[in-house]
Structure 1
């Protein structure tokens, strides 16, 4: 399917309510009815993750989208990606689910794991990626988005902030930019790296540190999602309420 400009524009929808409204505009039948390809909502990994998260929350299952990097798209690379993480009550652990991986993608990518329990060495949460590179156990040049030829510590830092925001129920687009996010590793001063060390640690620390996670997000304007963000794909400032 070759997407029209209008269809591509649907990929900029942020709130789940707008996504659902658009799905019903395209096809008014119940959500449980499969649509043909031309009447679906064009989506990226973030949209799949937010949709699953919303479905689970509606059933009182704790869930949140997580921002990071997938190791299963390009050999030797960690590609910019989102999955959903939910609380598995039976096993008493947070479990990663890649809701984007349908049968076609599983075959094409030769997926050798269960996407309903994605291993954490296959999907690297942004905070883990940051710590791996800071410790020298991974190369920042391998983390990014291959098809746009962008990678590096600055790219990982941006995803650390997006993951922090998501944990604070601000699930932004992968190309939304605000606050501390800047292109180029030269933008990461020692002070910024130290702050990101703290943020990364808190995003990985577990539920008992959630109050600290909330506190650091609320206390620093460089970390919080502002009312207006920069949409890098549209090259425009946008209100997140629209």
Structure 2
């Protein structure tokens, strides 16, 4: 699938990626850039408590708790840029982002948006921060819901530090069984990363059917779903904080309308062969191993991830957007536009 914006359907050519540094994570990405709303972000204290509260005041999860959304809010969920999300928030209610909002004045989004908002606040204060893609086992155990959480760099004052992982949607409560503002990581974590889950699936250690969007939506879960989230985890680590329903690198031809939509984009350029399921499995094996090694402090693995992301598997140019609203579109990430397929 094309991710270049050149019209080639399946191939991607990008500039060579470099390993993000702490300085990179402390500055805005294209996604977390607040545009004209920087002062509103700087007015929020860069702590998990204050940032998470402001994120949840501004953004309501479009599905959790089954909120009664307006027609306008139902269209909110495909806003991938923080500047656009904040445009909508300010239009509905001016003033501080941590002020209470009635439901119709909130922006509908999901965990990715709560996390992106939090990254915006932290980076506005110069705090290195990144998003982590994985699965939360604490909402409806034993099921693990797809989820996105925050990591910020905590300097120890002696030239070192560590990444602190936290969930901006949670408030401290002993019932969680862990510190929601400094979540445990590694084996047995309440939030295993996509890479960790994929490796456990491949080793036969977990049932892939226990991982997905919801236990009542088995079509949005399982082995291939987890595999796709490994690429999402890589993209977010490289500061491309795409939507959870952005797809690239392999054409989702089983989704009605996708092939026809991309056929309209063709301009006669040669297309790369579509990867087989075995090839995608092997790619996920490699990327997942590198992600886990990088989390353990392996600088060579970090560099290898950047090299892997420099080519076809970067979420740049054009991607397929498979919105939970049922819409299917092609998004030009450079132009920040989406061409939606006609409703069936």
Give, in angstroms, the shift of residue 111 of structure 1.
2.1
Deviation of 1:188 after TM superposition, in Å, equals: 6.0
Q: Which residue of structure 1 aligns with residue 221 of structure 2?
A: 151
Match of 1:196 in 2: 284
The correspondence of residues 23-62 of structure 1 with structure 2, limited to 5 A, is 23-62=89-128
Instruction: Say yes or no: does 1:135 pair with 2:203.
Output: yes
* 2-structure distance, mates of 1:47, 1:57: 15
TM-score by length of 2: 0.63
Counterpart CA distance in 2 for 1:188 and 1:116 is 40
Q: Which residue in 2 is equivalent to 1:124?
A: 192
Q: Is 1:154–1:188's contact at 8 Å kept on the other side of the alignment? A: no
RMSD: 2.2
Q: 1:217 aligns with which of 304, 309, 322?
A: 309
Count of aligned pairs: 234
Farther off after superposition, 71-80 or 188-197: 188-197
The one of the two structures with greater contact order (alpha-carbon pairs below 8 A, sep at least 6) is: 2
Match of 2:238 among 150, 155, 168: 168
Equivalent-residue separation in structure 2 for 1:102 and 1:128 (angstroms): 25
Distance, in Å, in 1 between the alignment partners of 2:69 and 2:166 is: 27
- Please tell me whether the aligned partners of residues 155 and 183 of structure 1 are also in contact (alpha carbons under 8 angstroms): no
Shift of 1:33: 2.5
Q: Which moved more, 1:146-155 or 1:166-175?
A: 146-155
Partner of 1:227: 317
Alignment deviations for residues 70-102 of structure 1 (CA, whole Å, 9 cap, x no partner): 001222111111111111223822121100124
Secondary structure of the corresponding residue to residue 112 of structure 2: helix
Match of 2:266 in 1: none
- SS state at 1:238 partner: strand
- Within 5 Å, which residues of 2 pair with 1:167-186? 167-180=237-250, 182=252
Please give the secondary structure, in 1, of the residue aligned with 2:140. Answer: coil
